[in-house]
Amino acid sequence: MSDHPTRLPRTEPPAADDWVTIGRIVAAFGLYGELKVLPQTDIPERFARLRSIYVGPEHRRFRLSAARPYRTDMLVITLAGIQSANDAEPLIGQALMIPLAEIAALPPDQYYIHDLIGLRAETPTGQVLGALVDILPTGGNDVYVIREAKTGRDVLVPAVKEMIKRIDIAAGLLIIDPIPGLFDDRFEVAE
């Protein structure tokens, strides 16, 4: 029998970098311990299929009893053992995570952000441009933030086929065919 009724039996947790955040608890919902969640996933319906979820930086494991849509962009979830607003209050603001091994497979030519961050950016001829340090979602297409190797400045590159020629996760490589002047070549002086 567990000394804390809200947690499932403890198993060996994955390493610190083997977690994926899929949501954030933003508020208690009602009097009976339900929680409002802002999903941070393109697959919010995954919550309905999960049996357990991990909460906060300590990765506390909870059995996920129920999940349902709420408004257009949120969910309401019920965690086993969280039975009142007082039980729910300490969880507000906490991240909801799953082990990396449990993420859904993606179709070809789609990637998880965590797979892309850190890729080395090069031109098709092998010139090192820098590294992918962030991805900015926009309405039409994402924008890749490439930190230049030479100057350390951030360059915004639209994630469109005309510029992004190849992504090779296994090789840690992102091939970009930039327009002239986008990277530090605009500062070079012709002799």
User: What tens digit of pLDDT does each residue of 68-95 get?
Assistant: 999 888 999 999 999 999 999 999 999 9
Give the C-alpha separation, 163 to 126, whole Å: 15
CATH of domain 19-102: 2.40.30.60
**Would 19-102 and 113-187 be classified into the same CATH topology?**
no
All structural domains of the chain with their residue ranges: 19-102, 113-187
User: What tens digit of pLDDT does each residue of 126-158 get?
Assistant: 999 999 999 887 878 889 999 998 899 999 999
Give the C-alpha separation, 44 to 38, whole Å: 9
Q: What are phi and psi of 116, to 5 degrees?
A: -90, -35
Q: Would the pLDDT of 110 be above 80?
A: no
- Say which CATH architecture domain 113-187 belongs to: Roll (2.30)
Residue 17 confidence class, pLDDT cut points 50, 70, 90: low
